[in-house]
Structure 1
Amino acid sequence: MSVQSAAADVDVDLRQLFASLARNWRRIAIVTLVVTGAAFAFASLATRHYKAEAQLKIESGESVYTRPNGANDNDKPILDEEGIATEVQIVSSTDILKQVASKLNLARLPEFDSALNMSALSKFLVIAGLKSDPEEIPPEERVLKRMRENLNVYSVEKTRIIAIEFSSQDPNLAAAIPTEIAKAYIATQGNAKVALNSAATAFLGPEIADLQKQVKDAEARVATYRAQSDLLMGGNNSVLATQQLSELASELSRVRANRASAEATADSVRKALQGGGSLDAVPEVLSSELIQRLRERQVELKTNIADLSTTLLDNHPRIRALKSQLADLDSQIRNEAEKLMKGLMTQAQTAQARESQLVADVNTLKAASARAGEEQVELDALQRDAAARRQQLESYQANYLAAASRKDRNYLPVDARLVSEAQVPSEPYFPKVVPIVGAAFAASLLIMAIITLLRELFSGRAMRPAAGARFDRIEQVAMPVIRHEPADIEAPANIEPEGDRATEAAADAETAAAPLDVAAAELPLADVGLKRSSFGEIDVEKAAEKLIASGAARAIFVSPEGDEAAASAILVAREVSDAGLRVLLLDLTASGAASRPVLDSALFPGITNLLASEAQFSDVIHADHYSDCHVIPVGTADPVRAMRAADRLPIIMQSLTTAYDLVVVECGPADAQGISRLVGDATEIFVSMLEPDDEVAKATVSLIESGYPDLTLVTPVGHETPGTPVPGRRSAA
């Protein structure tokens, strides 16, 4: 048989849940009114406190017209977040608070000195050692402690404003103290600048005198060294030897270039003369005026010869005379080229001699320049030292004059100013009667409502069957209360029958309690024997061992023979409990047969009280007097009223199996339909049997045919009476 978890078959009944607020409205209203009244009394009787605020702006107090020349951004006050936070700490420093406390004489006021006007109760607590004696602390520290408790200094976000907030029982003091703190802070900043200015002038005076002597000595060393080294300065502020070396180097380069050019030209002319080549390719030959005139005459003669050759023969005297002149011109041109070559060679030799002289002069100047360079380095070092000392002297003199003039004129601007003085408050900031009373009313009402709803929810009274879930008639489980000996349990006097609905519920329960399988009642005893041999008959110890070994969470006992057979459930529960498991015995019999022997009484609240919403789990769970087992008896509530909430029984079973290792349920002579809502995961079903009679046979066969083939027959025969203390067993706490 597939059995679903009981928790999946239920839902929260919101109507029932919120109806609990209406049922408990008196308690909610009383608690809410009491809390609201207490809050009103507190707000009315509490000491009034007033709060005022002054504001400081952190900014540069120096004017652009009075700032010393050369002052840069580093001279400005630090205005970043860390700088503002530092100023906040300075505002609330002990020195400033002491100045304000002394100026306003706060030590005479009981508000700031707890040792003044101590109440009798406070004195008693001090004498009894339950409270520290304020007189053990110096009066000044007591005043400062109280001031710090009432003072709040903070920087306004994203601004350079520092707010000084103070609370006091006296509105005038609440306004005076933050203003005086701001003024004391500004005065402290001014005094700090005076001290810094005085320290600066005291330091700069001797330093200036010492620097003047150092500058004079440094400049004298520069002049002496320049005279001793005989360093001559040329143009561009450079040493003369270095300048001459540079000029000679340039001249040497020029001479070398001319020599190379002359040698190359002479060589090209020589090659042309020796090889019989044309001299027209040599630029120097072409640039000679004489050679150019000879070339022109040569061209003219060639033209005349060509003209005469058209009419005269080559041996004609005129042609021969012209050719002779042409040969003389060629000889003259070559002679002139040779002269030009010799001139170039002479020019190259002259350049080479000049080059040699320049090289010697350069080498001489190199040595002189090296010596001059070393001397110039030393001179530059002396000049730098003298210049640095003079620069420092001039800076010190400027700062000294500025500091001295500020001191003489008493001009020392502070980097803060009071932008808003604290105003005397007209209304106290504490206590606010309306907000306090309103908050107390709303909070108490909400808390009481939540407590009521949680109590209703955890008790299970706000649960209902889930939509679509198939619920059989749960009355068959606890219905022996109605079906068997209904007169044995008396309903409480304060619960009356609920008319026709109660009668109908009782009638339904009686109808449901009728036997389901008549055929099973007519089976012969021999068939019962077959069933017994098929399923086996075990004693209490074996049943307990089976439950422990299987890890069952629920054990359902059906007792067809009535109250006497209920002893099996009691004995099995005790056996499992003695093995160390947490066990609960739930009595669903009509007469309380399973709980009366272990509790020695039937007048304890139990399952019917829980179903009728008259009790909670903590009220219905009791301890077995003879073992560690816990017991939920039948209870004392009206059975009819309890049956109306029978759908909550699966939820109760689910909660019990969560809290205990094993829940043993004694159902009395119930049938398969009666135990269907008790069955869940890890459930074992037992049939209690005293004698193998027809009643047991019918019940066993009915359970088997109804889908419970794995049931077990158990007999309490041979065991002691459940109400008799068993040696070695402990009593449950």
Structure 2
Amino acid sequence: MSSTGSVGSDVDIDLGALFASLRRNALFILVGALTLAALALLFCLAATPQFRAESRILIETRESIFTRPNGETAADRPVLDQEGVKSQVEVVTSTDLLKTVGDKLDLAGTDEFGRPGTLSRALISLGLREGPAQSSREDYMLRKMREHLQVYNVPDSRVIVVQFSSKDPALAAKVSNAIADEYIALQRAAKLESTGDATAWLQPEIADLSKRVKAAETKVANYRASADLLAGQGDTPIATQQLSEVSSELSRVRAGRSASEAKAESIRKALATGAPLDTVPDIVASGLMQRLRERQIQLNANIADLSTSLLDGHPRIRALRSQLADLNQQIRNEGRKILESFENEAETAKLRETELNRELNRTKAQAARAGDQTVELRALEREAAAQRELLETYLTRYREAASRTDRNYLPVDARVFSRADTPAQPYFPKTLPIVGATFLAGLLLLSIFILLRELFSGRAMRPVDNVQPPPADEIRMPAQMPAQVLAVSEAAGVLAQGNHDEKNVRRPKRSARASPSTEAVQQIYDSYTAIGDELPDNLHSVQRIASRLVELGVSRGLIVSPEGDDGSAASVRLTRELADRQLRAILIDMTGTGAISRAMLDGRTAAGITDLLASEKQFTDVIHSDHYSDAHVMPLGLCDPERAMRAIDRLPIILDALEAAYDLVIVECGPSNAEGVKRLYGSATQIILSVIDPEDNAVALSALDLQENGFEDVLILMGTEPEAPVPPAGEKKPRSRLVQ
């Protein structure tokens, strides 16, 4: 069996021997580490000290509410995002900016940035480095400045750090501050240039736009006059206003006519029925009728007073009654006059209504024509308004840009909030950290060297004995298969044979020419059975083959059955025999028909090796329990064999994984040949030839093929199909079973 972590290997790493080698070579490791530390100390003492100065720039909006352009809010001018800040870092390290700073500080005239050092001159003399003679001194200065310059953005902030190192601390601070100041000046110049460009662009645009605004407004006025679209109150065309007024007047006249007709009708009904006229509101409202009514009331009162002392025939009473009758007649006459006045009013209102209807129709036609013309007028007015608004915007921007340019006020969206001071301590070399890190690195590297030397020499290896494999439920297929794996022969099972009929996998017909002699076959059988220790009789039985596999320490058994399914049935009995001996055994069915695995599953077809190769199932889905023993079986499977063949390289990995979980893995290869078996052959593997009829031509040919390909230790398994067992009471008899 293979050891954990190294399938198929019989040695393991002896950790005790490895660490013992460290103890034996402790002095060598310590002296080597101290030597490296001493060299590091000499390097630190010989190295030129370098000083680093640092300036910090904050990216922020410098505009205030008093200087911000008209109508612009703080939200309209967002501060640069992280990508914008990183872009500003590139601006700080630009060639133009560094060249300007170098020229201002005359860095090309210094020994550090203008002339190569001792080591550089030595490399130049050897031709290993390009010297200033081949390139300009300015380019050399820029290259040296970039080597000593470090600009970066502080994470999660808008702060840009400018660091410059030099062997002169004052020069380091001066260059760092000069770079920050030049960046601010460069930003201001960029803003000034942008503002100047905007002013130069706006000036001709404003002149051209003024002409277009004037032309648009002239076009509006001319069209209004030609279309007679004079505006009235509220900038509404006069025709529309007239239509509204006529409509309102018509409504008022109609209401008056209706009121007059209603009043006349009420008075007419009162006169016709003889009802008192004082019940009609319009008659009561008349001043004359009120006076007549008062007189009527007075006469009635006088008659009532005199009737208490005089008889009805008295001349005075008769005179009062005569006056009352005349008064009633006057009231009725006055009512008729009021009726005639209302009728006249209604007639007049009707005539007025007719006239207003004619006027309304005429105004409607005029307003309709004015509406169509108003659409065109509104389009012209919108065009003129848009041109006018754009002109006003341009004028405002131009005045703002011109005033900023004249007053030289261009706030930059950045400021230097921390200027560099002259550093007092060098940042390089840090003697103690460098020496300490070198010492620790020397210890580590020398220890690794000793361990690798001990490992490759073989002294740290030890043999592995009785390594127990993990349980079957812990089998896991590797996520990535190795690229270099052994290919499996197309004749090594169902994957090569495809969907052949059972007739094609049966034993071939005998042929006198192809059949070897009986003596040759018997000699091959004798050579196979003579392997190993002396065994009792019936050397080819299932029990003796199982014992032989255990004695040889086999982990993988490859069974070749030249006679097809008849010979493959013995592999089922062998697997069950191994399981009865308390061994973890599994049978992998790679025959053409898959009949032997169905016999172990009561004729049921289940997922198997082809599904596992095609990555459609996992190990737990394709490993099944035998219904008549403790053995496991991996059936042929349900997947298309041609599709599974595309992943045939995974088969050796699958067998190795199963060997790590089982004591014995039996692979039934069917009528395979020696070439196919050879590609499945691994460490601790035994080949078994399953035979029913030794005189069969196919058996003889297969035995010769195995012997000619170097398989001298083949075991012969000769078994017959036993009687089918009777299932216990309550269990159903298997529908399809080849063997027990």
The 5-angstrom pairing of residues 453-464 of structure 1 reads: none
Alignment match, 1:174:
172
Is 1:156 aligned to 2:148, yes or no?
no
Alignment match, 1:345:
343
How far did 1:397 drift?
5.0
Q: Is the 8 A contact 2:33 2:440 kept in 1?
A: no
Q: Which moved more, 1:414-423 or 1:118-127?
A: 118-127
Alignment match, 1:45:
43
Please give the alpha-carbon distance, in whole angstroms, between the structure 2 residues aligned to 1:662 and 1:273: 130
Please give the alpha-carbon distance, in whole angstroms, between the structure 1 residues aligned to 2:553 and 2:388: 102
Amino acid at match of 2:178: E
Find 1:428's aligned residue among 419, 423, 426. 426
Q: Is the 8 A contact 1:112 1:142 kept in 2?
A: yes
Is 1:546 aligned to 2:536, yes or no?
no
| CA deviation vs aligned residue, 1:207-238 (integer Å, no higher than 9, x gap) | 34444544554555555556555655544444
Amino acid at match of 1:56: I
The 5-angstrom pairing of residues 566-645 of structure 1 reads: none
Percent identity (aligned)? 47
Please give the alpha-carbon distance, in whole angstroms, between the structure 1 residues aligned to 2:359 and 2:301: 58
Amino acid at match of 2:96: D
How far did 1:346 drift?
1.1
Alignment match, 1:355:
353
Alignment match, 1:196:
194
| CA deviation vs aligned residue, 1:112-141 (integer Å, no higher than 9, x gap) | 7998766799679978xxx99999998877
Please give the alpha-carbon distance, in whole angstroms, between the structure 2 residues aligned to 1:119 and 1:312: 160
| CA deviation vs aligned residue, 1:237-268 (integer Å, no higher than 9, x gap) | 44444444433332222211111111122223
Amino acid at match of 1:51: R
Please give the alpha-carbon distance, in whole angstroms, between the structure 1 residues aligned to 2:427 and 2:38: 16
Please give the alpha-carbon distance, in whole angstroms, between the structure 1 residues aligned to 2:546 and 2:174: 84
Helix, strand or coil: the match of 2:89? helix
Q: Is the 8 A contact 1:280 1:286 kept in 2?
A: yes
Q: Is the 8 A contact 2:55 2:163 kept in 1?
A: yes
- Change beyond 3 A, Cα 1:331–1:542: same
Please give the alpha-carbon distance, in whole angstroms, between the structure 2 residues aligned to 1:412 and 1:406: 7
Find 1:419's aligned residue among 417, 420, 431. 417
How far did 1:426 drift?
2.5
- Change beyond 3 A, Cα 1:167–1:310: same
- Change beyond 3 A, Cα 1:533–1:82: closer
Find 2:244's aligned residue among 246, 265, 268. 246
Alignment match, 2:93:
92
| CA deviation vs aligned residue, 1:409-441 (integer Å, no higher than 9, x gap) | 555443333333323322222332323444556
How far did 1:444 drift?
7.0
Amino acid at match of 1:346: N
- Change beyond 3 A, Cα 1:662–1:133: farther
Alignment match, 1:186:
184
- Change beyond 3 A, Cα 1:259–1:55: same
Helix, strand or coil: the match of 1:51? strand
Please give the alpha-carbon distance, in whole angstroms, between the structure 2 residues aligned to 1:56 and 1:209: 42
Q: Is the 8 A contact 1:52 1:424 kept in 2?
A: yes
Root-mean-square deviation (CA, aligned residues, Å) is 6.1
| CA deviation vs aligned residue, 1:454-489 (integer Å, no higher than 9, x gap) | 999x9999xxxxxxxxxxxxxxxxxxxxxxxxxxxx
Helix, strand or coil: the match of 1:427? coil
Amino acid at match of 2:150: N
Amino acid at match of 2:184: I
How far did 1:350 drift?
0.9
- Change beyond 3 A, Cα 1:77–1:308: closer
How far did 1:81 drift?
3.6
Please give the alpha-carbon distance, in whole angstroms, between the structure 1 residues aligned to 2:710 and 2:37: 55
Please give the alpha-carbon distance, in whole angstroms, between the structure 2 residues aligned to 1:63 and 1:660: 74
The 5-angstrom pairing of residues 639-718 of structure 1 reads: none
Please give the alpha-carbon distance, in whole angstroms, between the structure 1 residues aligned to 2:81 and 2:389: 33
Q: Is the 8 A contact 1:553 1:681 kept in 2?
A: yes
- Change beyond 3 A, Cα 1:175–1:536: farther
Please give the alpha-carbon distance, in whole angstroms, between the structure 2 residues aligned to 1:247 and 1:377: 22
Amino acid at match of 1:433: T
Q: Is the 8 A contact 1:115 1:135 kept in 2?
A: no
Please give the alpha-carbon distance, in whole angstroms, between the structure 2 residues aligned to 1:450 and 1:118: 34
Amino acid at match of 1:246: S
The 5-angstrom pairing of residues 28-107 of structure 1 reads: 28=26, 31=29, 34-35=32-33, 37-39=35-37, 41-42=39-40, 44-46=42-44, 47=47, 48-60=49-61, 73=74, 76=77, 78-101=79-102, 103=104
Is 1:207 aligned to 2:201, yes or no?
no
Alignment match, 1:265:
263
Q: Which moved more, 1:349-358 or 1:404-413?
A: 404-413
- Change beyond 3 A, Cα 1:271–1:186: same
Give unmatched runs, 5+ long, in structure 2.
5-14, 464-533, 557-655, 665-707, 712-740
How far did 1:162 drift?
1.8
Helix, strand or coil: the match of 2:429? coil
Please give the alpha-carbon distance, in whole angstroms, between the structure 1 residues aligned to 2:155 and 2:120: 43
- Change beyond 3 A, Cα 1:63–1:286: closer
Amino acid at match of 2:164: F
- Change beyond 3 A, Cα 1:543–1:356: closer
Please give the alpha-carbon distance, in whole angstroms, between the structure 1 residues aligned to 2:338 and 2:392: 72
Whose Rg is larger? Answer: 1
Give unmatched runs, 5+ long, in structure 1.
7-16, 462-531, 555-658, 664-679, 683-726
Please give the alpha-carbon distance, in whole angstroms, between the structure 2 residues aligned to 1:553 and 1:209: 98
Alignment match, 1:477:
none
Please give the alpha-carbon distance, in whole angstroms, between the structure 2 residues aligned to 1:548 and 1:681: 9
| CA deviation vs aligned residue, 1:661-712 (integer Å, no higher than 9, x gap) | 999xxxxxxxxxxxxxxxx988xxxxxxxxxxxxxxxxxxxxxxxxxxxxxx
Please give the alpha-carbon distance, in whole angstroms, between the structure 1 residues aligned to 2:396 and 2:121: 69
TM-score (norm 2): 0.50
- Change beyond 3 A, Cα 1:310–1:27: farther
- Change beyond 3 A, Cα 1:146–1:303: same
Q: Is the 8 A contact 1:21 1:449 kept in 2?
A: no
Alignment match, 2:283:
285
Please give the alpha-carbon distance, in whole angstroms, between the structure 2 residues aligned to 1:306 and 1:372: 74
Please give the alpha-carbon distance, in whole angstroms, between the structure 1 residues aligned to 2:657 and 2:77: 77
Q: Is the 8 A contact 2:50 2:426 kept in 1?
A: yes
Q: Is the 8 A contact 1:54 1:182 kept in 2?
A: yes
Q: Is the 8 A contact 2:40 2:435 kept in 1?
A: no
| CA deviation vs aligned residue, 1:143-196 (integer Å, no higher than 9, x gap) | 656644543323335554321123445544533433232233223223323433
- Change beyond 3 A, Cα 1:281–1:126: farther
- Change beyond 3 A, Cα 1:183–1:546: same
The 5-angstrom pairing of residues 371-382 of structure 1 reads: 371=369
Helix, strand or coil: the match of 2:251? helix
- Change beyond 3 A, Cα 1:34–1:310: farther
- Change beyond 3 A, Cα 1:280–1:82: farther
Q: Is the 8 A contact 2:260 2:342 kept in 1?
A: yes
Amino acid at match of 2:283: V
- Change beyond 3 A, Cα 1:82–1:281: farther
Q: Which moved more, 1:348-357 or 1:400-409?
A: 400-409
